[in-house]
A and B are shown apart, each in its own frame.
Chain A
């Protein structure tokens, strides 16, 4: 008799299943527009040149060891990461009311932040505090907040299919109607999966409502630098909120902008009203970390810290980031141009208006199915494509296939 006989088979995570199916596909024309990782024009993973350089430095440095990091992580990593998010001249940093918690990727940062909020925000252990995520959002957001214990996860309008853009009026209305002190999960830039970001003016309107309604901003920043090519531009929303006096959480990921996907490098930046509150918050963060992973992995954090704190390496990194962002922008421009040249029905401006790794093409599930089954082009059922999966070599094939899908299937 087994204690596990009643354990049901869980459905596989969709995005990984897509990649698994892609791998098994033997068709030479196959294209993977699924999982979110950068690819070069040869469709290869890209280890950033600056990362290779710093890795070599680490391997050769005999003075380094594998000792435990402190519970909250490598101090130089934490401070330099928060500086990246908030800016070199950040008044909040100068006022010593900013802290960082090194976490396992962006996911880990979201997790620690969510656990903290459940225990200490809006009373103690208030699992009834509403948490708002965008419609749509990264599918793991729901899981993170649910597993942290939150029982009331709601959505705010975000993507408007008809105009293929931001549903601003609905977004603002939903914030207006959110109970005070609700937690609002915001994508700092390069919204996943739609690639649609609010403009600066729109962010100001969002901040305005959130201030009036006493809503808590929890930023998910997984693409800083990767979206526009500029660290400052991509951090504008986060910095604006801080300048407006909000206390915020910002879950930072260095998976994409450093290409350090598998080293799980993330930072939860906490901006509090003052240093005294910050100190207490960090002691409680330690307790959460201690029962989850005790202390974070050192390799990736070292790499990032060295890069961010060494001027020449920092410049080189920014260049590498711009290389990636520029390639994505080029693919966007070319895809849109090809679809327009083919006379594909519909408007395709959203492809260049959207930003970051992903594009919500607007393709419907039937068209998506056609692309996967008939054309061996793999994308998410939502119509989300990873622009990085596009190359100069497969661009024509993909554009023509999209054209076929749209014209053949209503």
Chain B
């Protein structure tokens, strides 16, 4: 210790450079003794434990990234083609504008709102390229915090994606919830949701999952969406849609954007966070868009200028690579076609796994009602398994998932589905 202090020349100054919270005079002083150890991330914890497991049959059903039927990450063919095209162009690396790549933002908005959108035709929305879904949510939250001062409350569905809460909290909001998931049916608590929405104070912010609700996989039906939209209008709530799975849920991008487009059509001027992490497999490239629908073009200009002011002190301008890939795909007819086919096939594989899981459970002799497995949609399935059952799955079968019984269907393959069904039956019979 003394040798170390001598070698970095500290001994002479120990008495003068005093740490704020006291400390042994022989230890190098620090500003950080009051920094608490951050809690471990629950999902990462699952993956860490999975990695340590030596059971050859182990399954990681915590992963929130798509896997092919061999359990491998899937790089879309249209992505590879787009990358090759881009590489051939030998583009420069000059800063993007604060709002990002124009070709991307435009295509991103069109994908969500539809090419015939009145909003796009009248230029009354702004879309900024942002850092995937998280970045879109955060910039949107910061914008609302600064300019929607009528409320400090954000309402999330119960449950919601774990990161929604800290994002909105860090942006300065209080988090509240409306009923959403019914554990008795493993389905949508429609009545509960309406009852709760009725009580939400006017002008509050309400987060809705556009499709493939995370973590439950439970989406409202169209007639239910219609009632929700009407009630939300009546309550004068500000809607913030989170759309991380467009195309990935049903396999059809227009179908998955139905709720977003319906709300807009009903006159809701929404905020929308889009992610291309899953539907284009661009996870680590951080591709997303934040859209704010405004009253008219003039208001849009003011809002856009303020979004830039918010973005600049966070990261100045967004990363090019992923946006360029996404823009190339969306704006090149053959690539776009190919993408739609690939997205459909990813969604299809998930749907097939759902069907086969139920079939396999029946084959195992399970008499429980597993309809929710096929009723739910998207990457995640809320199995209805209790914590003790989840624990058994992990301990006895090396099947890893989050404690809430959520499994990622993306981690299921033709190879391991039989084993999964067997294990689930074993802990639920």
Q: Say yes or no for B350: interface residue by CB 8 A criterion.
A: no
B295 near A264 (CB under 8 angstroms)? Answer: no
Chain A residues with CB under 8 A of B294: 2, 4
| Nearest-neighbor residue (CB-CB) of B165 within chain A | A291
Q: Say yes or no for B320: interface residue by CB 8 A criterion.
A: yes
CB of B75 to closest CB in A, whole Å? 6
| Nearest-neighbor residue (CB-CB) of A246 within chain B | B17
B313 near A3 (CB under 8 angstroms)? Answer: no
Task: Report if A111-B93 is in contact (Cβ < 8 Å); known contacts: A65-B75, A66-B281, A247-B31.
Answer: no
Q: Say yes or no for A146: interface residue by CB 8 A criterion.
A: yes
A287 near B38 (CB under 8 angstroms)? Answer: yes
Q: Say yes or no for B49: interface residue by CB 8 A criterion.
A: no
Task: Report if A263-B13 is in contact (Cβ < 8 Å); known contacts: A121-B31, A245-B28, A274-B28.
Answer: no
Q: Say yes or no for B97: interface residue by CB 8 A criterion.
A: yes
B313 near A147 (CB under 8 angstroms)? Answer: yes
Q: Say yes or no for B254: interface residue by CB 8 A criterion.
A: no
The 8 Å CB contact of B13, one of A211, A274, A293, A297, is A211
A107 near B9 (CB under 8 angstroms)? Answer: no
The 8 Å CB contact of B34, one of A123, A144, A214, A291, is A123
A277 to B19: give the CA distance in the assembly, Å: 13
Chain B residues with CB under 8 A of A68: 65, 277, 283-284
The 8 Å CB contact of B295, one of A5, A69, A120, is A5
A292 to B8: give the CA distance in the assembly, Å: 36
The 8 Å CB contact of A107, one of B170, B285, B305, B315, is B315
B32 near A247 (CB under 8 angstroms)? Answer: yes
B131 near A3 (CB under 8 angstroms)? Answer: no
A44 to B91: give the CA distance in the assembly, Å: 12
A5 to B166: give the CA distance in the assembly, Å: 28
Q: Say yes or no for A323: interface residue by CB 8 A criterion.
A: no
A120 to B31: give the CA distance in the assembly, Å: 9
Chain A residues with CB under 8 A of B285: 66, 297-299
Q: Say yes or no for A56: interface residue by CB 8 A criterion.
A: yes
The 8 Å CB contact of A293, one of B35, B38, B134, is B134
Task: Report if A108-B94 is in contact (Cβ < 8 Å); known contacts: A10-B308, A273-B28, A292-B134.
Answer: no
A-B contacts, CB under 8 A, total: 250
* 8 Å CB interface, A29-62 against B: 35, 37, 44-45, 47, 51-52, 55-56, 59
The 8 Å CB contact of B313, one of A122, A143, A216, A284, is A143
A300 to B324: give the CA distance in the assembly, Å: 14
A121 to B135: give the CA distance in the assembly, Å: 25
Please tell me the size bucket of the interface on A. Answer: 35 or more
Q: Say yes or no for B403: interface residue by CB 8 A criterion.
A: no
A5 to B163: give the CA distance in the assembly, Å: 30
| Nearest-neighbor residue (CB-CB) of B323 within chain A | A262
* 8 Å CB interface, B62-79 against A: 65, 73, 75, 79
| Nearest-neighbor residue (CB-CB) of B149 within chain A | A6
| Nearest-neighbor residue (CB-CB) of A274 within chain B | B28
B305 near A67 (CB under 8 angstroms)? Answer: no
Chain A residues with CB under 8 A of B131: 104, 292-294, 297
CB of A165 to closest CB in B, whole Å? 29
Interface centre among A52, A259, A278, A299, by most chain B C-beta atoms within 10 angstroms, is A299
| Nearest-neighbor residue (CB-CB) of B170 within chain A | A291
Q: Say yes or no for A105: interface residue by CB 8 A criterion.
A: yes
CB of B37 to closest CB in A, whole Å? 5
A280 to B32: give the CA distance in the assembly, Å: 8
Q: Say yes or no for B55: interface residue by CB 8 A criterion.
A: no
Which listed segment binds A: B82-90, B110-118, B334-342?
B82-90
CB of B403 to closest CB in A, whole Å? 19
CB-CB contacts of B271-315 with A at 8 A, as 1s and 0s?
Answer: 000000100011111100000101100010111011011101111
Q: Say yes or no for A91: interface residue by CB 8 A criterion.
A: yes
B7 near A104 (CB under 8 angstroms)? Answer: no
Question: How many residues of B are in contact with the other chain, CB < 8 A?
Answer: 85
Q: Say yes or no for B2: interface residue by CB 8 A criterion.
A: no
Chain A residues with CB under 8 A of B106: none
Q: Say yes or no for A341: interface residue by CB 8 A criterion.
A: no
* 8 Å CB interface, A245-263 against B: 245, 247, 255, 259-263
Q: Say yes or no for A357: interface residue by CB 8 A criterion.
A: no
Chain A residues with CB under 8 A of B295: 2, 4-5
A91 to B10: give the CA distance in the assembly, Å: 13
Interface centre among A91, A122, A261, by most chain B C-beta atoms within 10 angstroms, is A261
A124 to B18: give the CA distance in the assembly, Å: 18
Chain B residues with CB under 8 A of A52: 90
A67 to B284: give the CA distance in the assembly, Å: 5
A105 near B269 (CB under 8 angstroms)? Answer: no
CB-CB contacts of A283-306 with B at 8 A, as 1s and 0s?
Answer: 110110011111111111000000
Interface centre among B31, B36, B309, B312, by most chain A C-beta atoms within 10 angstroms, is B31
Q: Say yes or no for A373: interface residue by CB 8 A criterion.
A: no
B32 near A281 (CB under 8 angstroms)? Answer: yes
A211 to B14: give the CA distance in the assembly, Å: 10
A6 to B150: give the CA distance in the assembly, Å: 12
A260 near B93 (CB under 8 angstroms)? Answer: yes
Interface centre among A4, A44, A67, A107, by most chain B C-beta atoms within 10 angstroms, is A4
Q: Say yes or no for A95: interface residue by CB 8 A criterion.
A: yes
CB-CB contacts of B114-154 with A at 8 A, as 1s and 0s?
Answer: 00000000000000000111110010000000011010000
A263 near B319 (CB under 8 angstroms)? Answer: yes
A295 to B75: give the CA distance in the assembly, Å: 19
B98 near A13 (CB under 8 angstroms)? Answer: yes
B317 near A264 (CB under 8 angstroms)? Answer: yes
CB-CB contacts of A55-87 with B at 8 A, as 1s and 0s?
Answer: 110010000011111010000000000000000
CB-CB contacts of A91-114 with B at 8 A, as 1s and 0s?
Answer: 110010000000111011001000
Task: Report if A293-B90 is in contact (Cβ < 8 Å); known contacts: A5-B295, A16-B97.
Answer: no
Chain B residues with CB under 8 A of A108: 314-316
A3 near B312 (CB under 8 angstroms)? Answer: no
B30 near A277 (CB under 8 angstroms)? Answer: yes
User: A4-B292, A284-B38 given. 20 additional CB < 8 A pairs?
Assistant: A3-B147, A7-B299, A7-B303, A10-B302, A16-B97, A45-B93, A67-B73, A143-B313, A146-B313, A214-B18, A260-B93, A274-B28, A283-B37, A286-B41, A291-B163, A291-B166, A293-B131, A293-B286, A293-B315, A297-B284
A-B CB proximity, top 4 nearest: A283-B38, A143-B313, A104-B315, A298-B284
Tell me the A residues contacting B by CB distance below 8 Å: 2-13, 16, 35, 37, 44-45, 47, 51-52, 55-56, 59, 65-69, 71, 91-92, 95, 103-105, 107-108, 111, 120-124, 140, 143-144, 146-147, 181, 211-212, 214, 216, 243-245, 247, 255, 259-264, 272-274, 277-281, 283-284, 286-287, 290-300
Subset of 30 A-B contacts with CB under 8 Å? A2-B299, A3-B269, A4-B302, A4-B303, A6-B147, A11-B305, A12-B308, A37-B95, A45-B92, A65-B75, A91-B8, A104-B314, A105-B316, A107-B312, A259-B93, A260-B93, A263-B321, A264-B315, A274-B30, A277-B33, A278-B32, A280-B32, A281-B35, A286-B38, A290-B134, A291-B163, A293-B135, A293-B315, A295-B284, A298-B285
